[in-house]
Amino acid sequence: MTGLSGGDLLVILRHAPHGSSWLKEGLDTALVAAAFGQRVSLLFMGDGVMALLPGQGSGPLGQKGTQPTLQMLEMYDIDSLWVEHQALLERGLNDMSLSVDATRIEKDAISRLLAEHTQILNF
Amino acid sequence: MVLHILNRSPSMSRVFQQALDAMGTDDRLLLIEDGVQGALPQLIPYLEPVLGRLFVLKEDLVSRALEGHCDARAIVVDVDGFVSLTEEADKTVSWF
Amino acid sequence: MQYALLVQGSPYSYQASHSALRFAQAVVRRGHSLTAVFFYHDGVYNAARLAAPPQDEPHLYDAWAQLHREHDTELLVCIAAALRRGLMDERESSRHGKAGHSLEPPFILTGLGQLIEASTAYDRLISFSP
């Protein structure tokens, strides 16, 4: 992996969609930070990689998923997207095409990603 | 240096592994709340990679009657020590 | 140093709010300035003005208010997280046609932008989550 980009804020997303609001609220925070002119990166870690599966929909009561928010990232100029390679492998999802273009990051590079951001918010 | 704060016990949750994966060689780990169980001799092997920079919050040990049961390699700090750790760190990350 | 806290745990359900408050008191005791506490996720319930814990339990709501009174700490509640959980001030209450309000100063409804500002303007931002 080359070219680890730094930034003002790294948002770590570790929860799957639908089961809790962590993913959604983490993404909302990222969008607002970007709207405030911050250079924002996202790291999908652990169960957070489930956010990147294509084909997700609303919940049975019409609860919004997070897929529409992911599609907004580009509009907010959030293009530094990282996904934990090991987490994809552990879930047998590494061969799937992801719903947004995220770069696979190896375990041993994660601490460097954290170090290169001024602020970190963990969801 | 980043201060990582963990509030989950390694016996209950694998979140500790995420914290360890994200830690650089100078980073520190502070155990709080249920996380203090990680300082027990039977559980501290999970946190072996960060021994020497592993801290545990005294007040959360005391309220759980765990203070006398800690592994000596976990460095006990009180809440003032917690603040002091955040003073020394460039930033903090909370794992939950 | 200037500190800000992010509180995401529901009071009395998780230790997060107690941990945050204990940390807050130590921050000011050590001579730092605790500029803001931002409540997000279930942390917004800390701002429920009708909270009535038993007398022999810590009164988190009053303790937050006391921090504000004595140290000018801003108590900022994410409006998006609060409204969907039924926490609203008088203004939002009348806007939504509700009979009463559940949040009042010193807790202030505000946007996520304030959290972002806290993360950049102050020296330290510490998160307490459930």
Q: How far is Cα of residue B29 from the mean position of the Cα atoms in its chain?
A: 5
**Which of B7, B92, B96 is closest, CB to CB, to C126?**
B92
> Do B92 and C127 lie within an 8 Å CB cutoff?
yes
Query: Nearest CA to C112 among C20, C35, C40?
Result: C40
Q: What is the ipTM of this complex?
A: 0.97
Q: How far is Cα of residue B85 from the mean position of the Cα atoms in its chain?
A: 12
Start-to-end Cα distance in chain A = 24
Q: Please say if the pLDDT value at position A92 is more than 60.
A: yes
> What's the CA gap between A84 and A14, in Å, rounded?
10
* Residues B35-63, mean pLDDT to the nearest whole number: 98
Q: Please say if the pLDDT value at position A123 is more than 70.
A: yes
Domains of chain B (ranges; CATH) run 2-95 (3.40.1260.10)
Structural contact between residues B32 and B41, judged by C-beta atoms closer than 8 angstroms: no
By the CB < 8 Å criterion, does A110 face chain B? yes
**Subunit partners of chain C (3 or more CB pairs within 8 A):** A, B
> Do A111 and B93 lie within an 8 Å CB cutoff?
no
Q: How far is Cα of residue B53 from the mean position of the Cα atoms in its chain?
A: 9
Report residue C57's pLDDT band, with 50, 70 and 90 as the boundaries: very high
Domains of chain C (ranges; CATH) run 2-128 (3.40.1260.10)
* Residues B17-42, mean pLDDT to the nearest whole number: 98
Instruction: List chain A domain ranges.
Output: 7-122
Torsions phi, psi of A66, nearest 5? -110, -5
**Which of A22, A35, A119 is closest, CB to CB, to C125?**
A119
> Do A111 and B94 lie within an 8 Å CB cutoff?
no
> Do A38 and C120 lie within an 8 Å CB cutoff?
yes
Report residue A1's pLDDT band, with 50, 70 and 90 as the boundaries: very low
> What's the CA gap between C94 and A48, in Å, rounded?
38
Tell me the chain A residues in contact with residue C128 when contact means C-beta distances shorter than 8 Å: none
**Which of A32, A118, A121 is closest, CB to CB, to C113?**
A32
Report residue A6's pLDDT band, with 50, 70 and 90 as the boundaries: confident
**What is the CATH number assigned to the segment(s) A7-122?**
3.40.1260.10
**Subunit partners of chain B (3 or more CB pairs within 8 A):** A, C
